[in-house]
Each structure stands twice: as C-alpha cells, then as structure tokens.
A and B are shown apart, each in its own frame.
Chain A
Amino acid sequence: MSDLKPSPEFEEKIRKALDVPNADAEFVSNLRNQLAGRPVTMKPRFMMKPAWAFAFAIAALALIASAPSAVNALKRLFGYMPGVGLVENTGNLRMLAEPVSVTRDGVTLTIKNVLVYADRVELKYEVNGIAPENDGWQAEDAMQTPTAFCGGVNPGELMSTDGDARLRQPDGMVLERDYTGKYPQNVFAMQPVYEAAIPADVMHMTLLLKCIPQARLGAAPENWEVPFDLIAIPAGTVVGEPVIDVPPVDEEPASPSTETVPAPKVTMTLERIVPTDSTTILYLHFNMENADPSLISIMPVRAYVIDSLGQQIPLRGAFVWQPFEHQVGSSFEFATEAKPADGPLTVVVEQTIAYYMPLYTDPPQATPEQLSFTFDAGENPQHGQIWDLNETFTIAGYEFEIATVQAVTFSDIETPAYIDGSQGYDYGYQFIVESDPSLGLSVEMDIRADKCWLSDVKKIEPSPLLYTQMCRDEYPKGIVTVTIREMSVTLEEDLQVVWKP
C-alpha cells in the first residue's frame, strides 16, 4: 500500500479544494443551549423519590396554589409533562406509581410513564443495552433482512404485531395496542395506546412483550413480563407544568394571497401555551372551510414565533410527519427553539400542505376502480419505452392528467439521497403528471403488482411532476394496473395568530 500513499501536499490540496466553513458561532451556541434544555432521558425529573407521582402531585398542587398566575391553571384540566405532552386530569386519572426497570442479560426495559384515562391507557417504555449490531435501527443488515428483527416484515407483507407490548390486568384480561390511528404517539412501538375503560379498582398491571421492537430475534431476551403499580391522582390536580388555555382568536392573514387559482381557506387555531424555563410549548390545529370530504390532513411546512422584542424564533414540531397521524383538526405540538421574551407572541405558519386520500377516508370517497388506470406493458417491456396514457382525474376539484409512463431503471432516479442504493428495486415505471402549475400539486400512486414499493417524487419547475415506483427483479408485464393513493396541494398563504397574555 505504501506506493499508493498520497503525499501530504496532495492531501492538503484535497482539503483545500473541499474546504467548507465551520458552523456559525451563534448557531453552535444556540444548539448547545437547546440541548442543555432538553429533558434527560435516563433521569426523568420525576424519578427522584419513591411514590414520585403522588409526591409530585402534592408538590405541584402546593406550587400552583401559591402562584396567583397559576391558580387559573388549576381550574383547567391540562398539565404538560416533558416527554409525554399534555396530561388531562378528568378526575379519574391514574399514573405509574414509580418507574419500573427489569434487566435481563444486560438488556434493561424501563416503564417510564403510564397514564390511565377513563377511555384509554397510554404507556411509554424504553429499552437499553441492545448491541448496535442487534438493533434494527443501527444494524447494517436491517434493510436487507427485516424479518431477522422483531416486528420486521418484508415490503408489501402484512404488519407484524410481535413487537407490540400488551397489558395484562389482574383478572387476566389482556389489552392489545390500538390500531385505529386515533392516537399519534401510537406509531412508536414503545409508546402504545390501549383503547379500554379500566375498572376503577385496578391499580396493578403487567406489561407483556414477546420481543423487543427492532431487536435481532434470538440475540436479546424475549417474552418479558414487567409488573407495575398505579396511583390515583386527586381530581383537579394539574399534572406537570401549568397549561394556559387560549380563548379562540381569529387568525389574521399575514400576506395577501397571490394564487391565480383560488385556494381553499385554511384556518389556524392556537389552543394552548405552556411556558417552561427554556422554551415555550404551543398547541395548534388547522382546519379548512368547506373542505372536500376526502381531505385527510393539513400539515404545516414552516412555523415560527415573533416575540415582543421582534425576535423570530423557529418552532420545532414534536409530531410525527405522517398525514395519516394528523387528521384535520388534531393538535400539533411545537416548541420554540429558544425561550421567547415575555409578552405577546405572534405565531406564523408559512405554507401548509393539504393531503387528500379519497380511498382512505371513512367512509371512502371513491372506489379503487375510480382512481385506477391501466396500460399494456406487453410481455417484454424495455428500458426507455414510453406509453401514452392521457388519463384525467379530479380529486377535491383539482384536475390532473397522467400523461405518459416510461420504463426506467434505478440509475434513472438515483441521487445521493439513496444511501442504501436500490435495495433490489431496480426496475420501475415513471409517470408524468400534468396539472395547473400554480397549484403545487403532487400525486402518489401504487402499481398493483407484487414487489413494487420504492417510490420517488420529483418536480423541478416548470417541468411536470415525475412520479416513479420501482419493483424488484423485473418490470411488471402485460396489463399493469395503477391506483392513485394520495394527492396533495401546497397552499401558499401564510397563517398568523397573535397571542396576548
């Protein structure tokens, strides 16, 4: 290898050629402060004493009662717990008496939070001690062999519930995780929600876990049973930081719309504010006037606050970036990246994206046949071959045309973003979707064939949208059926709400 070794001078030239600036000092300082202000996951602030929940509830009660500004909060039912979010005390609330940890073969499972409401149970647990090579989030082979890990399935297969935690009540009844999509945190395996009314006298339950989500099967302890105790929280006690309910305020348009096509009117509502020592938590939701029934979600693109000193502070979302998990009207939790100055706050959201999924609303707004089209790829489709389609669809009043489809290979769509490469999805079809360019319209669809999965959406104005779906092993042949799964529209109008304490 010595004959290959480059000279230090040449290496220095490479460094100079690739020279990039260091991070800005202000950014470095802000991020450091932000990290310092985050909750510590291994030492929850409520973990200091036995029976911490009760002690905390009493302490919070005393604190709230002694602070005039917080007395109002006592009348309200919400509190805020870092890492958990809003906690509503409707009078029948039970909580985890104290965190419980069990260690087996170096792997520790800790139940961190349990909240038992009148209609549901929310659980949060975490696991430490899984070696990186056995952790499906880190292991190099996790993408290639998903079924080697707990809960993993091959693309296109039905989901596995092996990694779902279950709860056993004292009478032996076992609760299964909710899959209705009502609870956003439920997308995380370790934050399951159980939709059930638990009898008032149940103060003890047991977590059952067949295998640790994403742990390599056989490499970590399995079949866990972790008992835990609950404690009742007195009615009227605010659990966590006091929350300020914001009375309804109409938002003011921040800038006039310049849309050439009239855009639907989206409204933003500020529901609650939680000032903490290091940040301010905001709860917002979005609605649309006269919305089409196929509207699933309205997602914000960029959000920030302007404080009383005129400082613009970005908002960071604590939500899951999945339209399905945030249906219209549900709350988004945001935290300011720095502590705003005291006084009025102006909340601004720049752009929203409206997602329409007629096939997946309840009830559905279209049949798969109505949103499908076909083309004949023949018995031997060739790379580069193009078929004219000219299929026109209208969703929520927006018209678009699937103009053509072309047979492509992975190299046609590959960018550095595909760090894992094609993963075997080497052959696919690329659709050209044409619509009114002022709409910012995007469409996603599925080829109804086995082994088609990897999708790519590309749009560089003024070109039409290119939507590609890739398939394993070969091009689907013969009559290929394609179904439109989702359409979204970018709404440019800024939304703004002013909160005056």
Chain B
Amino acid sequence: MIGYKAAITTPMTHDDLPDLITAAKGDPATFGRLYDRYLQPVYRYLYSRLGNVHEAEDVTSQTFIAAYEALPKYREQGQFMAWLFRIARSKMNDHFRRNRYEVELDAAERISAGEDVLGELVHDEELVRLRSVIKNLNPEEQDLIRLRYVADLSFAEMADLLGRREDAVKKTVYRLLARLKSQME
C-alpha cells in the first residue's frame, strides 16, 4: 500500500495546487493529498443533498474514484474544485436516477420518522425556523446555499461550477440571504 499518512501532515496551499494536480496524475500518494483536502466538503455537500450517511458515502466513493480515474484528462485551469463538484453532482444525479424508487421511499420513511434530511437535529428555535425557510427555497436556490455554506466553496469556485460570473453568483447568494433574513424577521 502506498503511504498517504506522510502526505496528510503536509499543509497544502492554493499555490501548491497546480503542481499537486500534475503530480497526482501518476501518483496515488499525491492524489491522497487532494483527497484529504477535498473529501469533507464533497461528503458534506452530498450528505446535505442525500440526507443519509450510507448514500453519501457511496456517492462520495464514486466521486473520488471517478476523479482519480479521470484526473489524467483534467487540464489545470484553476478550476479543480469546480471540476470535482461537477463529478459529484453528476454521480449524485446518476444515483438519483438509478435509485429513484429506493431514494424516494427512504425520503418518505425519513420524513415520516421525523428526521430532517437537511442535517442533524437542531434544537435552537430560531435555527429550526431558519431551516424551515431554507427548505422552502426552490431546489436551485437551496443548492446555492449548500455549495456556499455546507461545502464552503468560494464564490469563484461556485461560478466555475455553475458556469456563471463570480459577481453574479455572489449577488444571487446575497440576495437569497437578504430574503431569508427578511422572512425571519
């Protein structure tokens, strides 16, 4: 087994990324550093969409295996995060299409059991209300919020992912937040 553990302890900066990506194309150990950097944002995003640990793990696995296999085709243009999330969304899409029957059953069961698929139980009354308001946003708006506040993508990364201008994405998110805030007042 090739050792990832040594790599984990080495911090990575944005400046390192192009070199890392080039090196990772032929070296599982280097890919491990990208994995360590991006695993949790991808997993958290998928979990927030799928609402289920098992499915989130499954689609996260598919995402990183696909990314690893497709990495030789990736040409670094400073859009790695967007590229990775595009794969994650594509895998999630496949998952929904392949398992729609089961997924919808699961969702129905979770809802009937009182579990909230947006995340862990929140006891704070204000936060409960906020979540309720977020859930009433349309799917695209919810996705924007998730990308920004669950996956912690920058506006530039979101813009790359969504094929929009950075300032337009930022404006949309800020307007959404303003709307949420006004609905909370």
Q: Which residues of A contact B (CB under 8 A)?
A: 1, 4-6, 10-11, 13-24, 27-28, 31-38, 40-43, 126-132, 135, 138, 140, 278, 321, 415-417, 419, 442, 456-461
Contacts and interface: CB of A to CB of B under 8 A. Distances in A.
A18 B119 contact: yes
Given A4-B175, A10-B177, A20-B48, A15 B149 contact: yes
Q: Which 9 A-B pairs have the closest CB atoms?
A: A417-B96, A4-B174, A23-B43, A17-B130, A6-B177, A20-B119, A42-B26, A416-B139, A140-B163
Contacts of A128: 72-73
A36 B4 contact: yes
Interface residues of B, number: 75
A56 B122 CA distance: 59
B39 interface: yes
A18 B150 CA distance: 7
A500 to B, nearest CB: 27
Contacts of A28: 39
A323 B145 CA distance: 38
A17 B122 contact: yes
B178 A6 contact: yes
Contacts of A138: 83, 86
A457 B100 contact: yes
A345 B49 CA distance: 36
A331 B90 CA distance: 27
21 contacts: A1-B174, A6-B177, A14-B177, A17-B134, A18-B48, A19-B119, A19-B122, A21-B44, A22-B44, A23-B57, A28-B39, A32-B4, A34-B61, A41-B72, A132-B74, A132-B79, A135-B73, A419-B90, A442-B101, A457-B101, A458-B104
A5 B174 contact: yes
Given A6-B174, A21-B44, A24-B57, 4 more contacts: A18-B145, A23-B40, A31-B57, A31-B61
Given A18-B118, A36-B29, A458 B83 contact: no
Given A126-B72, A140-B163, A38 B65 contact: yes
Contacts of A33: 1
Majority secondary structure, B binding face: helix
Interface of B: 1-2, 4, 25-29, 31-32, 35-36, 39-40, 43-44, 47-49, 53, 56-57, 60-61, 64-65, 68-69, 71-75, 77, 79, 83, 86, 89-90, 93, 96-98, 100-101, 104-105, 108, 118-120, 122, 124, 126-127, 130-131, 134, 139, 142-143, 145-146, 149-150, 163, 167, 170-171, 174-175, 177-178, 180-181
Contacts of B98: 321
Contacts of B146: 18
A175 B7 CA distance: 47
A130 B145 contact: no
Contacts of B122: 16-17, 19
A403 B15 CA distance: 62
A36 B2 contact: yes
A33 B8 CA distance: 13
Contacts of A24: 53, 57
A321 to B, nearest CB: 7
A467 to B, nearest CB: 12
Nearest to B105: A460
Contact of A460 (B31, B90, B104): B104
A1 B170 contact: yes
A183 to B, nearest CB: 21
Contacts of B126: 13
A190 B93 CA distance: 24
A487 to B, nearest CB: 15
Contacts of A41: 69, 71-72
Contacts of B74: 132
B85 to A, nearest CB: 12
Given A40-B27, A460-B105, A18 B181 contact: no
Contacts of B77: 131-132
A214 to B, nearest CB: 11
Contacts of A456: 100
Nearest to B54: A27
A188 to B, nearest CB: 12
B171 A20 contact: no
A416 B72 contact: no
Contacts of B97: 417
